[in-house]
Structure 1
Amino acid sequence: MTTDDRGESPAPGHGTGRDAILRAARRAFALRPYAEVTMRGIAADAGVSASLIVKRFGSKEQLFTTVADFRPAADELFAAAPAELGRHLVVTMLRLRDEFRGDPLLRVVFALGNDDERALLRERFREQVTARLATQLTGRDVELRAELIAGQLLGLGATLSLHRPGAGNSAKPERLVELYAPGLQRLIDG
């Protein structure tokens, strides 16, 4: 099986659904500037026709807007009480990485393109992930703690992607949770 520049594997057998298209689009927009991404290239990677992408998403711009939306991942990541959030974040990140066949947040770091595209991704990430997390925290320095937690989540994803194969990829998920969640929980608790 081949991997992309970040070590992410394409979807096995591709697929004909929305998820296969979104996985292919995430890879394309993360690895190449917007102007170089084509609907045909995304379609080939997803194993679908370009006309199906147009039917489901409209234009390349609308597809990019969908890919630049971090809310679905944030909804799942932050769906726990603050006292259990550290553990939940790690468990959910690992599960989403499996489901997306790639990291649900890292595209904000690895995205290429012009300043406008990168700025849009960063702004959406700040608004939909970091600022949203800050509203769930209490006590002092909630914005700073939210930024540090988001950075830790990006770090976990980057580590697992960069060190493939590596100890983190061969470790049982529960071991990763045991090692990583306490640090996140300290930031959550303040």
Structure 2
Amino acid sequence: MSTADEPISPATAGTERTVHREAGELRGDGAEGGPEGGPETGRDAIIRAARRAFTLKPYAEVTMRGIAAAAGVSPSLIVKRFGTKEALFNTVVDFRPAAAELFDAPLPGLGRHLVLTMVDLRDRLRGDPLLRVVFSLGIEDERTLLRSRFREQVTDRLAAVLTGPDARLRAELVAGQLLGLGATLSLHRPDGATAHATADRLADLYAPGIQHLVDGG
């Protein structure tokens, strides 16, 4: 188990930050975080940095010091907030907060709500709330856990509220549509048409296909 005292060289920290920024462009992850007293500190900044780290590297290669460097905070702050690397990892692979917001709408208007909420979550979280399930580079056990959490907390949750035939199949296809939307928004930053479109315009174009899956008609 890693601790805040794991050694990390300045060169390694700099390399990690560079790789994190490059991969973050693909996943929609934004800021590296500011000084410990700035607006980008605290729990959210640590989680953003940890999400990038656990996506880019196997669990065993992620260090608390590396996460701290990427978040712009001290390692001791991470230990204070989360305790251990394992506890931080379990927080990162929790899709329930995003799912609670994504599915908080009646079924007849869920498609549009999903698109608008995805865009809003990406802005507020400075990263995509779902794409880490696709881009994780962890070992098989970690990827299996991530996929299992996603199925349980996102796909199964949606399937349980859908009505009509093939609810599970439709829920999986809706999840795929949301992942596709996130990937598209990330891949075409900052100059693509999707980057400049309003959330309402994206919903006008993208939501009907999702709503068709929700309705099952």
| Normalised-by-shorter TM-score class | over 0.9
Q: Which amino acid aligns with 1:5?
A: A
Partner Cα distance (1:79, 1:11) in 2 = 30
Matched, 1:81 2:106: yes
The aligned residue for residue 196 of structure 2 is 170
Asked whether 1:9 is paired with 2:27, we answer no
Q: Aligned with 2:31: secondary structure?
A: coil
Q: Within the alignment, does 1:185 sit opposite 2:203 as a pair?
A: no
CA distance in 1, matches of 2:121, 2:175: 15
**1:126 and 2:144 correspond:** no
Residue 103 of structure 1 contacts residue 157 of structure 1 at CA under 8 Å; is this kept in 2?
yes
1:37 aligned residue: 62
Aligned residue for 2:142, secondary structure, equals: helix
Q: Unpaired segments of 5 or more residues in structure 1?
A: none
1:51-97 Cα distance to aligned partner (Å, 9 max, x none): 11111111101100000000000000000000110010000000000
Which letter does structure 2 place at the counterpart of 1:188?
V
Whole-Å Cα distance in 1 between the matches of residues 30 and 116 of structure 2?
21
The whole-number CA distance in structure 1 between the counterparts of 2:57 and 2:173 is: 28
In our comparison, the structure showing a higher alpha carbon Rg is 2
Shift in alpha-carbon separation, 1:25–1:12, aligned structure 2, 3 A:
closer
Indicate conservation of the 8 Å contact 2:137/2:143, yes or no. Answer: yes
Superposed displacement of residue 6, structure 1: 4.0
Give, as a single letter, the amino acid of the residue that structure 2 aligns with 1:58.
Answer: G
Shift of 1:11: 4.3
* SS, match of residue 66 in structure 1: helix
Task: Note the 1:31-110 alignment, pairs <5 A.
Answer: 31-110=56-135
- Residue type of the alignment partner of 2:205: L
Residue type matched to 1:9 in 2? G
TM-score (normalised: structure 1):
0.96
Q: How many residues align?
A: 189
CA distance in 2, matches of 1:91, 1:69: 21
Asked whether the 8 Å contact 2:33–2:41 carries over to 1, the reply is no
Percent sequence identity is: 71
Judge conservation of contact 2:33–2:70 (CA < 8 Å) in 1: no
Structure 1 residue 12: Cα displacement: 5.3
Whether contact under 8 Å (1:11, 1:101) holds in the other structure is no
CA contact 1:6–1:162 (8 Å) conserved in 2: no
Moved more, 82-91 or 166-175: 166-175
Report the aligned-residue RMSD.
Answer: 1.2
Mapped to 2, the partners of 1:4 and 1:46 lie a distance apart of 15
